[in-house]
Amino acid sequence: MATEKTSAQNRPLDVICLGRAAVDLYGQQVGGRLEDMRSFAKYLGGSSANLAAGLARMGLRSAMLARVGDEQMGRFVREALASEGVDVSHVTTDPDRLTALVILGIGAGEDVPHIFYRERCADMGLVADDIDPEFIGSARMLSITGTHLSTPTTRAAVLKAMTSARERGTAVTLDIDYRPVLWGLVAAGDGANRYQECAEASEVLADVLPLCDMVVGTEEEIRIAGGQDNLLAAVQRVRELSEGWIVLKRGADGCVVFAPGPVRSLDDGTLAPGNPVEVFNTLGAGDAFLSGFLGGWLTGKNPAGCGAMGNACGALVVARHGCTPAIPSRVELDAFMHRDPPPRVPRLDPELIQLHRATTWHDDPRPLCVLAFDHRSQFIELANETGQPHTHIDRFKSLVAEAALEVVADLPADVRGGFIIDQRFGATAMGRLAGTGAWTACPVETPGSRPLAFEAGADMGQQLLGLPPLNVVKCLVFYHPDDPLDLRLAQEEKVQDLYAEICAQDRRLVLEVICPANQHPVDDSTLPRAMRRFYNLGVHPDWWKVEPQSTTGWDAVARVIDDCDPHCKGIVLLGLDAPEDQLREGFRAASGAPYMKGFAVGRSIFGQPARAWFAGELDDAGARADIARRYRRMVELWRQAAGEPRGAFS
């Protein structure tokens, strides 16, 4: 099925996406008018950017070719694409134009009102000089958006990219992507309008169709491309102009794929039926469809298989909030397609929710070397003992942050730095850490609470909304599987409530579990039993933070994760103010254990300097230097342990 052009497996890239790259601002109040929206969620947007991210989630090597503005939204688009694994080497910065925005709401039924803010936007600043023919030739396929044919300047850039592709054996896919508002045919407030006859658009599309190996569009878009009101006549006209494949998207009815050759009726194509799901949001479905379709096409699927993948991707997106964030990973897509029957409400399906959370983002594979200084009650006690005001806690935590950043800047390439810092006394320190790219977590629990309580009380959702968006949520629970029933149930309910909010806000969770030994014995089975209980309750932490275990204990922990969540990002080892010798032995026992991610140690690093600083025995410079020295030493202990044979913890 695949042409010679699409089988160039040795090329560095699979697909280059040329076109729209924007920011979507989605209204969070579902079912109302756009006029009544009170808050918005910010997502990566734009048809080509959605496609680039979706293809990366399919496991393909995608790249984006576009412009963004020289401002915060432009940097967001570039960073969001890169976080998906998209090559952004040809996402350039336009010094004069702003990044495009789209404001959207989710109304009743299939009503999705939206407004495009694209007046002289950055992605429409693309010019022919932005097209590097050798870059185009580095990919198996070039996917272009019809929107970029709407102005002479961007059309010249698209034509240069298409001719470069033809000359270098790169297949060309045209996503017609026809929006009347983007061709200046309807008012700005009519952004949801998908069909308006336009002879100019039909003529422009007719000029580029001969350069296409694949043409993809809805019924309305094919009618525009073919310049015919009758759908069959439009398909036949597209066939006259292009020898390539034609993919007709038919929404809930699936799609029809027409192979090269005459089209005598709409039944001549290969039909791939749609997936019946409850529609929540129709926007982004086409981009998701093409992600899935090309995900199959470029991995050798037949037309029916490609159509099935595209339809399933589209079905998952229409059932969720947002465009790019709703596109599934290949793992999630396969799970959805193998369900018999597939769930009708995917956004409420626990299995798909977990797979989506676990497989649509990329964690850095390097071990984590985390300095945890989110302690609150311990610092309050220290300040009270030394007669210092509580404002000194914030000052000291800023010193810790400065020392930590100094160390992280010089860490060996085989490890990654990180921090756990609270907002109560560490707001200034958190500000210093923002934008560093380091793994950063923020606690939500009331220190020492048992049963678990949250600092925000019942207003957990608002507390999470107030956290910086890239922060991981950390929760410490003192939990023993043999605790009295009422205590266990109270704690479990709190963790479940937190996890539900984390899922709703697309946050990440590190669940710290300490099994108290003061009332019930703790052995090699205690922590694994506690972890399995939380998994059975539907709680899937991205990371676990736990105490040192024996080799037998670590093996039991690994079996639980194998059984319940093989997509878990890993385990970090806590310190509990242990001396260096004890930590060294704990590192040795843990370093070779499955899922072991690293350490998160605090008081063993900053404890002594803190006591001396609060007592007035150590100045700021001395505290910073001592903390940095101890943090470096902890990293070195971990790296040494990682290079040694796995041993028993004593």
* pLDDT tens digits, one per residue of 521-567: 999 999 999 999 999 999 999 999 999 999 999 999 999 999 999 99
Cα 576 to Cα 583: distance, rounded to the nearest angstrom? 10
The reported pLDDT for the residue numbered 10 is 86
Q: Does residue 505 have a pLDDT over 90?
A: no
* Contact yes or no for 646/592 (Cβ under 8 A): yes
- The answer to whether residues 417 and 396 touch, using CB atoms and an 8 Å cutoff, is no
The DSSP secondary-structure symbol of 151 reads S
- Residue 43, token pair as written in the block: 């997502």
Residues for the chain: how many in total?
650
**Token match 């020898």: residue?**
243
Residues 310/311/315/317 CA torsion (nearest 10 deg): 20
Rounded Cα–Cα distance for residues 558 and 573 (Å)? 14
Beta strand ranges found along 302-382 (DSSP E): 368-372
Which one-letter DSSP state was computed for residue 361? S
Distance CA 66, CA 545 (A): 41
**Spatial separation of the C-alpha atoms in residues 494 and 496, rounded to whole Å:** 5
Tokens standing for 470? 């890239």
> pLDDT at residue 328 above 80?
yes
Place of tokens 């275990």: 549
DSSP state of 342: P
Report the distance separating Cα 64 and Cα 92, nearest Å.
Answer: 10
Phi, psi torsion values for 321, nearest 5 degrees:
-90, 130
Top mean-pLDDT range of 351-365, 580-594, 604-618? 604-618
Enumerate domains of the chain plus CATH numbers: 5-359 (3.40.1190.20), 370-642 (3.20.20.70)
Specify the pLDDT at position 644.
58
Distance of CA 107 to the CA centre of its chain: 25
List the strands of the sheet with 245-249, edge to edge: 87-94, 62-69, 13-18, 139-145, 171-175, 214-218, 245-249, 255-258, 270-272
pLDDT category at 189 given cuts 50, 70, 90 is: low
Closest CA to 138 of 161, 110, 113: 161
The pLDDT of residue 300 is above 80: yes
Q: Report how far Cα 479 is from the mean position of its chain's Cα atoms.
A: 31
Q: Dump pLDDT digits (tens) for 176-187.
A: 988 777 776 666
For the segment 609-619, what is each residue's pLDDT rounded down to a tens digit? Answer: 999 999 999 99
Q: Out of 102-111, 134-143, 593-602, which region has the weakest mean confidence (pLDDT)?
A: 102-111
3-state secondary structure of 599: strand
Cβ proximity of 169 and 139 under 8 Å: no
> What is the three-class DSSP state of 3?
coil
Residue 353: count other Cβ atoms within 10 Å of its Cβ: 18
Residue 164 near residue 131, CB atoms below 8 Å: yes
Please tell me the predicted confidence (pLDDT) of residue 108: 58
The pLDDT score that the predictor gives to residue 2 is 42
Per-residue confidence (pLDDT) for residue 331, from 0 to 100: 95
**Contacts of residue 428, Cβ cutoff 8 Å, sequence gap at least 6:** 394, 397, 398, 401
Q: pLDDT confidence of 456, banded at 50, 70, 90?
A: confident
What does the mean pLDDT of the chain come to?
A: 91
Q: Which of 158-167, 437-446, 484-493 has the lowest mean pLDDT?
A: 437-446
Which letter, b or e, does each residue of 276-308 get, where b requires 16 or more Cβ atoms within 10 Å of its Cβ? ebeebbbbbbbbbbbbbbbbbbbbebebebbbb
Instruction: Judge whether 239 and 262 are in contact, CB under 8 Å.
Output: yes
pLDDT at 481: 97
How many Cβ atoms are within 10 Å of 455's Cβ, its own excluded? Answer: 17
pLDDT at res. 217: 94
HSE of 273, CA atoms in CB hemisphere, 13 A:
4
The span from the CA of 223 to the CA of 235, in Å, is 7
Sort strands 100-104 and 171-175 into parallel, antiparallel or unpaired. Answer: unpaired
Separation CA 72–CA 142 (nearest Å): 28
440 has pLDDT over 80: yes
More confident position, 322 or 644: 322
What confidence score (pLDDT) does residue 525 get? 97
Q: Which two tokens stand for residue 59?
A: 């496991």
Write the DSSP assignment of 600-638 as a string of letters: EE-HHHHHHHHHHHHTTSS-HHHHHHHHHHHHHHHHHHH
The 3-state DSSP composition of the chain as helix, strand, coil percent (nearest 5) reads 45, 20, 35
Q: Is the pLDDT of residue 310 over 90?
A: yes
Distances (CA, A) of 496 to 66, 249, 399, 446, 538: 42, 40, 35, 16, 8
Give the three-state DSSP class for 474.
strand
More confident residue, 77 or 649: 77
How far is it, in rounded angstroms, from Cα 400 to Cα 416?
Answer: 17
The reported pLDDT for the residue numbered 650 is 28
Percent of the chain topping pLDDT 70: 94
Q: Residue by residue, what is the 3-state secondary structure of 521-533? A: CCCCCHHHHHHHH
Secondary structure of 231-292 in HEC code, one letter for each residue: HHHHHHHHHHHCCCEEEEECHHHCEEEECCCCCCCHHHCEEECCCCCCCCCCCCHHHHHHHH
pLDDT at 23 exceeding the cut of 90 = yes
User: What is the mean predicted confidence (pLDDT) over 264-290?
Assistant: 89
pLDDT computed for residue 194 by the predictor: 63
The residue to which tokens 């950390």 are assigned: 474
Which of 607, 552, 640 has its CA nearest to residue 378?
A: 607
**Segment 137-152, tens digit of pLDDT:** 999 999 999 999 999 9
Q: What's the pLDDT at 646?
A: 43
Strands of 6-117, DSSP E: 13-18, 22-27, 40-45, 62-69, 87-94, 100-104, 114-117
Residues forming a β-bridge with 386: none
- In the numeric block, which tokens belong to residue 590? 């843990």
Decide: 572 and 591 in contact? Cβ < 8 Å: no
pLDDT for residue 647: 38
Measured distance CA(63)–CA(142) in Å, rounded: 10
- Which amino acid, one-letter code, is at 583? L
Query: pLDDT class for 123, splitting at 50, 70, 90?
Result: very high
